[in-house]
Amino acid sequence: MSTSEGSETADSMDEDTSQVAHVRRSKVWKHYEQELVVVEGDLKAMCKYCRGLSHTKFGTSSLRTHIAKAC
């Protein structure tokens, strides 16, 4: 097995794992739609109650804040 074959295998593994769904462990996700929405290149979660959009880039703190203050 040559070095180039090993790197091709690693590259193909990276592509395969990028398609795997991310597990959402936070309980706050029960208040949001399962599918994220792309708005101007950013992924956002849609609130099930008011249909508002919240950033998910840095975790779930903005989602919790929205549910606590807005809904």
Summarize pLDDT for 22-34 with one digit per residue, the tens.
788 999 999 999 9
Is there a contact between 56 and 43 (Cβ–Cβ < 8 Å)? Answer: yes
Q: Give the pLDDT of residue 2.
A: 47
CA 31 to chain centre: 15
Q: Give the pLDDT of residue 21.
A: 64
Q: Give the pLDDT of residue 42.
A: 92
pLDDT band, residue 17 (cuts 50/70/90) = very low
The model's pLDDT over 27-63, given as tens digits with 9 standing for 90+, comes to: 999 999 999 999 999 999 999 999 999 998 889 999 9
Tell me which residue of 30, 34, 23, 28 sits closest to 60, measured CA to CA.
Answer: 28
Burial of 32 (0-12, 13-18, 19+ CB in 10 A): buried
Which conformational region is residue 51 in: left (phi greater than 0), alpha (psi within -120 to 50 degrees), or beta? left
Domain ranges of the chain: 27-71
